[in-house]
Structure 1
C-alpha cells in the first residue's frame, strides 16, 4: 500500500512536466493538423532549452573524456523513458565509434527486460539504485543520473552511493528545481516547460534528454579520437551498407577514387585508420600502421586527437627530409 504522505509529496511535486500546458489545453478538440501544429510548435522550443545548458554539458564532457582515457567507465542510470533513452544512446556508440561497455554503459531500473515492458515499482526502489552502483562501479568511474522529474528514487539511490564512494556524478533532468540537483557535482537542468500531454515525459522532456545525450556522447567520443573531422573512422563495417559508407568516407577525406580507396581498404583488412593515412600520405599500409603506432589516439592532443594528421605529417616529413631551419 502506498504511503499517503508519499502520495501528497508527489501531488505537490514542483516540476514543469506536471503542470498543464495552456497551448494544448484543448488538444482533444483539435483535428489531426491542429494537434500536429501544437505538438511540433512545442517541440521547436526544446533545442534552445538544451543549448542553455551548454556550459555544464561541456564540463561533463571533460569529466567523461578524462575517465574513459584513464580506463574507467561512464555509467548512465535511469528509469522509464529516461532509462530507455540512456540505453539507446549507450548501445549505439558501438557501431558508430567502436565503443564498448567498458567505456559507456547504461543501467535501467528493473533490468534489461524493463526496456520493453514496465517493471512495477522499479523506479521507486532507491536501494536497488545504490546496490547497482556498489556492484557495477569502480574507482574513477562516472555516474550520470537521468530523471525527468529530478526526484526518481532509483536514481537518487545510485547517485547517493556514487557520492559516498567519491565518484564524479551528474544529473540530466527536465526540472529546473530538481531535488537531486544539489546531490551531484554537475546538474544539467533542462527547462522545457510543461508537456503537451501533462506529465508525459516521453515528449519534450524525452527529446531534451536525447539531444543532451547525443551531444554528450558524440563530443566525448570525438575528443577520444574516434573521428577524422566529422568522418567516423572507427565505424565497424559489419554489413554492405557500412562497407560502402567506409569507402565513400575515404573518398571524401582524401579525394582518391572509389576504386583506389577500396583497394587500400582491402589491403588494410578493412581498418579505416591505416587506409586513411596510407591514402593521405601516399605510402603503403605497413608504413601507415607504423606511423599510427607512433602517434596513437590522445584526447590531450589538441586539434588531432585521432593522431591521423600527426601520422601523415610525420610520414611526409620523412619522405621529404627534415625541414631546413
Structure 2
C-alpha cells in the first residue's frame, strides 16, 4: 500500500485498478488541448480583482484561432474539397451527415438547426426560390443532418458511457440511414473521441474492401475534423486508425491549449464551428451560383465572388467586435455572478440565437459541476439557469430549437447490440442505463417555452436576472408589445434585465425607452456578406463562453485556469480529473513553504490520485451531494493527510471545502 493509501486507509477499487491497467488509451493528459494556456494561468485571481481584465484575458486566447485561420487561408485546398463534396452530394441527391460528441455534437446540431435549415426556409420565402426550385431537391432543408452521441436528449446533458463506445457511433450512423456516397463530417475536439471514431470508420467500411480505388472514392466524401497535432494522437490506437487511413480526409484545426485547461467548448469548438460554417456557406453559394446571377446571389446574402479565403479571414473582424463589447459584458458578468451568490437564478431568452445560447448554458453543467436543466417534474429548483424561447408549449419550443421534430434513440435498435457487443462490464451497465434516458419521451421532460405555465412556476424575484440575446432584425421586436421579446422584458420588470444585441454597422437599433435598469451589450460587426448568420452567432458564442467561464471563476469553480469542478463522467474526464488532483497536490508539496512546515513528502502518482478519485466518487454518490467536486475534495483530503501524517475522513475534507473553498485553501498552503 502506498503512503497516501495508508494514511487514508483505502485500496484501489476494482474500477480504479481497471482504469489504471486497462484504460491507458484514455490517459490523455499529453494532448495539447489538455495543457494549461500561458495567457490564462492566473485567471481566477485576475477575474476576482477585475471582471473586465478577466474577460479580456479569456478573449485573448481567441487570437490563437486568428493565427490558425490565417494559415488555413494560405492553403485552403482541403476546405474547397469539403465544399465540393457538399455540392456534389446535393446535386446527386446524397445526404450530408455531421456527427460529434459533447461540444462537437452540439456543433453538429448547430450546423443543421442554426445554419442549414433556417437558410433554406428563408430562401423558399424569397423571390429567388422560383428560379432555384427547378434545380434543387424540394426538401433540401432535410439534406443535412446534425447528430450527436446520444441524439437530441444529449443536448441537455451527457449520457454517460456513450462517448466511450465506438459502437454507438456506428449504430447512430446506420440508424440515421447514412449510406455510401453520403458526405460525412466527423468532428472531435481532441481527435480521440471513441463514438466519433466509430462513426467515421463505419462510414469508411461502407465502401467495401479497402484498396487504392475505394480509398480514393471514400476520401472524397469522408472528413475527420480535430484539434490536436497528429504526433500527439498517433500513440492512441483508435486515433491512429483514422489518421493513417488514406480513405478519410483529415482537417486538422489545432490552435493550442484552451483558455480553461481541457475546456474544448471554447477555442477548439469555436474554430471548428467557424471553419465548417464557412465550408457550408461556400457550398450553398456554389450551388446557387449555378443558376442565379450576381445580383440574385447578392440579394441572397452572398459575395458573388465566393472567395473562401476571404470568408475565412472575416473571423478577425468578428473577434475585434466581440472584444470591443467586453466592458459592457463585464457589467452583465458581475450581475449574473451576484445573482448566483444570493442563491438566485438566471433565465435566458432567444429565438434566432437560441441554439448558441442553449449550448453555452447547458455546457456549464459538466464543465463547472452545476445541475443540468430542471425537468418539468423537479419539485425544487436545482438548476441555476433556465432557457426559454418564443413558444407556447414544450413541443413547439423543441421545434424552435431544432427546426424539426425531436429525434431520440429507439431502444429496439440499440439495446440488443449494447448487451452483446460491449465487453466492459462498467461501460455496459452505464450505457444501458443511459439508453433508458435517450428516447423520444425525453422531450416531454424539459420545457423551454415562454408559456403561461412556466411564467406561473418561475415568477422572477428581485435578485433574479433575465437575459435576452437577439440578432439584427430581431432588435426591432423589442419595440413590439406583442413580441415574445417585449413580453419577456415586461415579465422581468421587477427583476434585473440584460439585453445582448448582435448586429451590423449601420443597422437601425432605435428602440423606445424600456428601462434605465437594463444592461445593454452591443456587438457591432462590420457589414460583410453573412448569408447564414454565421458571424453573428460566432461573436455571440465567444462572448457567452468568456462570460460564463468568468462567472464560474469568480464563484471559485475554476482554480488558476484549471477545471477543478469537472464532472468525471467518462473515461477522458476521469483521466483529466486524476491528472488535476496529482498536479495540484504535487505543486503544493514540492513548494518551499510546505517542505519547511511539513517536511518532504513523496510525490503523488497518477495511480494514487486515481485511487482517491474513485473513492471520492463513491463518497459523493453516497451522500447525494451532486454539486461537490471530487477533484477539489480529493486534493484537500490528500493534503490534510500528508500534513497530519494520519487518517483524515471525507467528511472533514468536505467541511474544509465548504468553509474555505479550494482556491483559498491552496493559497494558504502554497509555496510562496
Q: CA deviation at 1:102?
A: 3.8
Pick the aligned partner of 2:243 from 181, 190, 193.
Answer: 181
Q: Assess if the C-alpha contact under 8 Å between 1:97 and 1:232 holds in 2.
A: no
**Count of residues in correspondence between the two structures:** 238
* 1:64 equivalent in structure 2: 86
| Structure 2 residue 263 is the aligned partner of structure 1 residue 210 | no
Structure 1: unaligned runs, 5 residues or longer: 235-240, 245-325
Alignment of 1:205-244 (within 5 A): 205-225=268-288, 228-232=296-300
Q: CA deviation at 1:101?
A: 5.3
SS in structure 2 at match of 1:150: coil
Instruction: For 1:105 and 1:121, locate their aligned partners in 2 and report how far apart those are by CA, in whole Å.
Output: 23
| Structure 2 residue 200 is the aligned partner of structure 1 residue 165 | no
* 1:91 equivalent in structure 2: 113
Pick the aligned partner of 1:127 from 157, 161, 167.
Answer: 167
Instruction: For 1:142 and 1:17, locate their aligned partners in 2 and report how far apart those are by CA, in whole Å.
Output: 27
Instruction: For 2:255 and 2:78, locate their aligned partners in 1 and report how far apart those are by CA, in whole Å.
Output: 17
Q: CA deviation at 1:163?
A: 0.5
* 2:197 equivalent in structure 1: 156
Q: CA deviation at 1:14?
A: 4.1
| Cα distance change on mapping 1:55 and 1:139 into 2, 3 Å | same
| Structure 2 residue 180 is the aligned partner of structure 1 residue 113 | no
| Cα distance change on mapping 1:71 and 1:5 into 2, 3 Å | farther
TM-score relative to the length of structure 2 = 0.33
Q: Assess if the C-alpha contact under 8 Å between 2:149 and 2:195 holds in 1.
A: yes
* 2:534 equivalent in structure 1: none
Structure 1 vs Structure 2 CA RMSD? 2.5
Q: CA deviation at 1:219?
A: 0.8
Q: Decide which moves more: 135-144 or 214-223.
A: 135-144
* 2:41 equivalent in structure 1: 25
Q: Assess if the C-alpha contact under 8 Å between 1:17 and 1:174 holds in 2.
A: yes
* 2:327 equivalent in structure 1: none
Q: CA deviation at 1:12?
A: 4.2
Q: CA deviation at 1:199?
A: 0.2
Q: Assess if the C-alpha contact under 8 Å between 2:33 and 2:228 holds in 1.
A: yes
SS in structure 1 at match of 2:186: strand
Pick the aligned partner of 1:75 from 89, 97, 108.
Answer: 97
Q: CA deviation at 1:40?
A: 1.3
SS in structure 2 at match of 1:105: strand
Q: CA deviation at 1:16?
A: 1.4
Instruction: For 2:88 and 2:280, locate their aligned partners in 1 and report how far apart those are by CA, in whole Å.
Output: 13
Instruction: For 1:199 and 1:45, locate their aligned partners in 2 and report how far apart those are by CA, in whole Å.
Output: 15
| Cα distance change on mapping 1:103 and 1:33 into 2, 3 Å | same
SS in structure 1 at match of 2:60: helix
Q: Assess if the C-alpha contact under 8 Å between 1:72 and 1:102 holds in 2.
A: no
Instruction: For 2:150 and 2:28, locate their aligned partners in 1 and report how far apart those are by CA, in whole Å.
Output: 26
TM-score relative to the length of structure 1 = 0.67
Structure 2: unaligned runs, 5 residues or longer: 1-14, 122-138, 208-217, 234-238, 303-472, 477-672
* 2:180 equivalent in structure 1: 139
Q: Assess if the C-alpha contact under 8 Å between 2:104 and 2:188 holds in 1.
A: yes
* 2:456 equivalent in structure 1: none
Q: CA deviation at 1:44?
A: 2.4
The Cα offsets for residues 51-93 of structure 1, whole Å up to 9 and x where unpaired, read as 4332211111111211111000010111000010111111221
Q: CA deviation at 1:182?
A: 3.0
| Structure 2 residue 258 is the aligned partner of structure 1 residue 195 | yes
Instruction: For 2:275 and 2:266, locate their aligned partners in 1 and report how far apart those are by CA, in whole Å.
Output: 14
Larger radius of gyration: 2
Instruction: For 2:251 and 2:267, locate their aligned partners in 1 and report how far apart those are by CA, in whole Å.
Output: 15
Q: CA deviation at 1:10?
A: 2.6
| Cα distance change on mapping 1:14 and 1:72 into 2, 3 Å | farther
* 2:385 equivalent in structure 1: none
Q: Assess if the C-alpha contact under 8 Å between 1:162 and 1:169 holds in 2.
A: yes
Q: Assess if the C-alpha contact under 8 Å between 1:150 and 1:174 holds in 2.
A: yes
